[in-house]
Structure 1
Amino acid sequence: MILLTTATTAAQNNKATNKFDSIYFETAVHISATDINRAIAIADSLHTHSESELHQLKALMLSSTLFQQKGEMKKSIHYATMADQLAVKNNFYDWEARIAGFLSTQYRILGLYEQGEVYLEKGKNVSKLIENEEIKILYLGLIFQETAYYAMEYGNYQRAHKAVKTAEGYFMRLTDEVNKNYFLATNEELLGRTCIGLKEWDEALQHYNEAIKRMGKITQQDAMLNGFVHSGLGRVYFEKNEPLLAIDHLKKSEQIVQLSDHLELKIEVYKTLSEYYKSEDDYKNYSVYHDKYIDAFQANEKKKKQSIDNFVNTIQQRDKSLSFNYRILIIVAIFLVLIIIATILWHRRSKQRDFERFKLIMRKLKEQNRGGNTTEIESGEPVLKDKKRLISEAVESKLLSDLDEFEKTGRYTDNQISLPMLAGILNTNTKYLSYVLKTHKNKDFNAYINELRIRYIIEKIEKNDVFKNYKISYLAEEAGFSSHSKFSAIFKSVTGFSPSTFLDYLEKSTSLSKQS
């Protein structure tokens, strides 16, 4: 009788497990790609009706993953943290390692790298405790993939590529063919990303095609992975100047985007599509997709900010719940106040000088912009009066007038602009153009363009408050610079301040203006 009861119970448990796994898989792979809100509701139902703590944990992680796709990082981290508590309680080391990697990803996306790397280290340590060799090598591979993402965040694509190749070594050792092909497909997609970062277009193409080949061996396709692969192929063919192939893959990726609410994929696809149509001089479609890209970007940034605020508030609430010795707390508080007061007094004079210098720079920039967005020296009499005249006064006057018109168009934000290109736009040659720039602007071509870009982005920031909340990398791209670091260096050389310091002073100046 006992044996019969045990066997019956085991059969019931297996039946429940099979039903759970079937619903779980269908929701994670198919429903999430077409109706993410319905998928979230199913995940919540799975959690509510599951008696097994392992099933509850898996349902929580499904919810967390779905909220991540929507860009709702606050909820994503909340559900993942609940799942982590169940994993720790039951010594589910495989899930504990997986959740650590997942949380590391979430904090990386939010830009909270220090917190994210804590979870990444936890994932490495917990993975060593996993007894099942198949699962252990799987999670070690995932950890190296996450390491690659951190390297890409820091702009180190060589290191990222090396980490992904290490992950490949682990995935190749998997014995389950479905898992092996799936995770190698994700790895090939990631290798494609690193090659794009390294501008190795042909190698990137090979990896994306290999990802498609691997996915073809899997019965159930991952829609989001396909979306990123086609988006990557679109980017590669765009860079290789093969527009028909580029738009074919971008449209395939867009179809997946339209059925899902995956903000990261939306941002990537819409950005590439806007660049494609711009290159084709199709400004109508360029405007449509550029607006979609900005909307998705802003929505993502807003959700990130909300999640970061929540993270900070959580830490504050946790600190309040700790039992401190009040006497020590008061002493420490007084000590900190004294340090802060001393620091404020020490820095006040230098900060005030910097702020006055900032106001002077802003006045000069406004005066110059009112003069037609020209450089420091007004066009008219040459700066180098003793320089031998190279061209006639009529041609020189016409070229100066054309330069003024060019400055009004904003085409200097095109990161492909060059001296020969500008000379072509103005129907002159590079020698005449360089002469006029040196004579009347007292600058070479690069200094001239860079100063126009800096003034352009300052004017954008000053007139539109939303620009004050953007990352420096976005401001750099908007102004036409190829990198965050180059933008920051040139911004400081033009204004005397780093972009972040300039934004702080601009906020202070705006507040003072409102008060007055």
Structure 2
Amino acid sequence: MYSQGEILKMPDSLEEKSYKYLNDRFLENRNDTLMATLYLNTIVAKGIVNDDKIAKSHALVRLSSYAVNDKEKLDYIQQSIAESNSVDSLYSIPSYNSLGLYYQANYDYEKALEEYVRVLKLSITRGVENYEIIALDNIAEIKQEIGQYKEALDLYRKGFYLEQNKEDKNPILILGSSLSLSESFRHNKQYDSASYYYASVIDDVRQKYPTKLSKALINEGINLYHKNEYKEAKILLQEGMVHVNFNSHFDVKYYILANYYTGKMLQVSSDKKAEQYFLKVHALLLKHNATIPELKDVYTTLINAYKETGDQKKQLYFQDRLIYFNEVIAARNLKVSNKINTEFDTPKLLKKRDKLIKSLRTKNEYLNTVKIILSVLLVVMLIVLSVLYIKHKKQKKRFKQILKEIDNQEQPQKTKSTSASSQKLNIDPQLVEDILERLQVFESKKGFIKNTITIAILAKKLSTNTKYLSKIINAYKGKTFITYINDLRIEYVLKELQMNPKLQQYTLYGIAKEIGFNSADSFSTAFKKKTGISPSYYMKNLKNIKKEKVAL
């Protein structure tokens, strides 16, 4: 297990592999705990060596899902948050969400809600739509678990339509939102709607997302029970139980529900095996320290069963369990309801109240305000449009200039006189010429794209010292060592992006890593400094050129 300050040893076979390679291998082997943790720990080790806190954070939060106990899981998540927060809280959003899931799995709904609200606020502030939807779904799930079914459905719907209205729809989020909507409609006794959303995604679940199969099948099985379609319900419940992952708190919950509703169907037909299922549900609730409001009937049923047989000892035991069950639910609901009111619902209501107050202004006041605002907006818009137009013209001109420069790169470049410059540097002219030739080899072999390159490492490779190397680069390249390396990387990626359409599909962070930068920000800064335009603008225009050629 990783701990702060610990240096993990990378396997020799993976030492030179890129983050992308390691991440792809992890995704391929995510169901194999041994292989998955190997690749994740290698990313952590690589992140330590490169001081890449974001890579470490993402790997640590993923490692938390393979933790063997709650303490280890929490340690991983908290370390992940510490790493990403030291760079920017934006990168901590997935870790805060995992922390919320951890608390929810342990029925600490108050702390879970606190983390989900944090994720929601950060996502809205920083424009991370995917996690805004995830946060809404998670808050809705807590509302659902404390019996606020209508409010939960409203939130699930909001998340679903937010995703549907996005340009770059995420199929996994749509699938997850559809299953959550199906379950929520079931709790609101809208059984046909529940079946509709189940049917819309079940084929995809079976073919592409088997980890969600237990939830999908069991929920629809329960839905069919309520529609009195017992035969079909039993088939789905039994199949759903086969696919349960017992390492997942959420899957275990559905497994318990599947046993409960199987017992309910046997009870309808007066089958004595029903009692065995209810006893099994009770045992599962004890084992997993779970309290699911939907299962309250388990205890009333068992109390009545032992009342009929005259077993007062068991009758008393299950009466005590029912009292405890009710007390836990009541305390939890009260605590979480207060939290929801103060941190989630109340601010929303205050916002509505403010809108109402504004709408009650007199007509004249309203019209005057609108006129002033529109006038100001018109002036601002004209200024902004003018600035944007000038900026666009400059960027377009610079983009065309860059393409011409790339076309002319093959032409021989004039170099400064070695002897004349070396005299000013007080360095032997022959040594200067040797170092310049070695630098040429270094450039031709693209040694600059390694993120480990430093002036000390390069000086050693060129059989010189850092002082001479720095002076020669300043004199003959006209720039500092760092600017020299960064400019080489940018010159390389400008041509590579033009020639390699696959590279255009990478994120800025992915491109940065491919050419030796440690972050998207440092890459963007160096790119803009060298070219005068942003990398995203450059790539967008390259794609437009390609579209124009295809159209012709």
- Could you tell me which of 318, 322, 344 is aligned with 1:460? 318
Shift of 1:300: 1.7
Identical aligned pairs, as a percentage? 14
Please list every run of 5 or more consecutive structure 1 residues that lacks an aligned counterpart in the other structure: 1-11, 305-409, 423-448, 477-483, 486-516
Which of 157, 174, 179 is the equivalent residue of 1:184?
174
1:233–1:246 Cα contact (<8 Å) kept: yes
CA distance change for structure 1 residues 412 and 104 in 2, over 3 Å: closer, same or farther?
closer
Counterpart pick for 1:268 among 257, 261, 275: 257
SS of 1:301 mapped into structure 2: coil
Q: 1:140 aligns with which of 123, 132, 150?
A: 132
Q: Is the 8 A contact 1:186 1:211 kept in 2?
A: no
Residue in structure 2 matched with residue 212 of structure 1 by the alignment: 202
8 Å Cα contact 2:44/2:55 also seen in 1: no
* TM-score for the superposition, normalised by structure 2: 0.47
1:193 paired to 2:180: no
Specify the alignment match of 1:76 in structure 2. 73
Distance in 2, Cα, partners of 1:188 & 1:172: 11
Distance 2:108 2:301 in 1: 32
Structure 1 residue 160: Cα displacement: 0.5
Q: Distance in 2 between matches of 1:50 and 1:276?
A: 55
Report the counterpart of residue 301 of structure 1 in structure 2: 289
Map of 1:471 onto structure 2: 325
Give secondary structure in 2 for the equivalent of 1:206. helix
Deviations 1:39-82 (A, max 9, x none): 77547644554434333322222232345xx8x54443332221
Partner of 1:247: 234
| 2:148 maps to 1:156 | yes
Provide the residue aligned with 1:125 in structure 2: 121
Cα contact 1:230–1:249 (8 A) shared by 2: yes
Residues in 2 aligned to 1:287 and 1:258: alpha-carbon distance in whole angstroms: 25
The one-letter amino acid of 2:173's match is F
1:64 aligned residue = 64
Deviation at 1:453, TM superposition (A): 13
Question: Are residue 101 (structure 1) and residue 103 (structure 2) matched?
Answer: no
Residue 153 of structure 1: CA displacement? 2.6
Q: Deviations over 1:206-258 (max 9, x none)?
A: 12112325547xxx722231210001011011111112211221122122127
TM-score by length of 1: 0.50
Q: 1:244 to 1:83 in 2, by over 3 A?
A: same
Partner of 1:328: none
Contact preservation (8 Å) 2:300, 2:322: no
**CA separation in 1, counterparts of 2:164 and 2:73?**
30
User: Residue 111 of structure 1: SS of its match in structure 2?
Assistant: coil
Contact 1:142–1:167 (Cα < 8 Å) also in 2: yes
CA distance 1:24–1:267, change in 2 (3 Å): farther
RMSD, matched Cα: 4.3
Give the 5 Å matches for 1:279-294. 279-284=268-273, 286=274, 289-294=277-282
The whole-number CA distance in structure 2 between the counterparts of 1:192 and 1:201 is 8
| Distance (whole Å) between structure 1 residues aligned to residue 267 and residue 76 of structure 2 | 41
Q: Does 1:86 align with 2:83?
A: yes
The answer for the alignment partner of 1:374 in structure 2 is none
Contact 1:148 1:163 in 2 (8 A): yes
- The 1:101/1:475 distance shift into structure 2, 3 A limit, reads closer
What are the superposed Cα offsets for residues 284-308 of structure 1, whole Å, 9 maximum, x if unpaired? 4x4564454334322221899xxxx
- Displacement of 1:205 after TM fit? 1.0
SS in 2 for 1:20: helix
How many residues end up aligned between the 2 structures? 306
Per-residue CA deviations over 1:447-490 (Å, capped at 9, x if unaligned) read: xx9xx99998644356xxxx4995327899xxxxxxx99xxxxx
Is the CA contact (8 Å cut-off) linking 2:143 and 2:152 kept in structure 1? yes
Question: Which segments of 5 or more consecutive residues in structure 2 lack a partner in the other structure?
Answer: 1-13, 335-552
Higher-Rg member (1/2): 2
Question: What do residues 180-211 of structure 1 show as CA deviations (whole Å, max 9, x unaligned)?
Answer: 22111111111112112112211111121123
Q: Using the alignment, how far apart are the partners of 2:245 and 2:231 within structure 1? A: 21
The answer to whether the 8 A contact 2:63-2:76 is kept is: yes
CA deviation vs aligned residue, 1:399-458 (integer Å, no higher than 9, x gap) = xxxxxxxxxxx999449x9xxxx9xxxxxxxxxxxxxxxxxxxxxxxxxx9xx9999864
Q: Take 1:117 and 1:105, find their aligned partners in 2: how far apart are those partners?
A: 9
2:88 is matched by which residue type in structure 1? N
The separation in 2 between residues aligned to 1:186 and 1:281, in whole angstroms, is 37
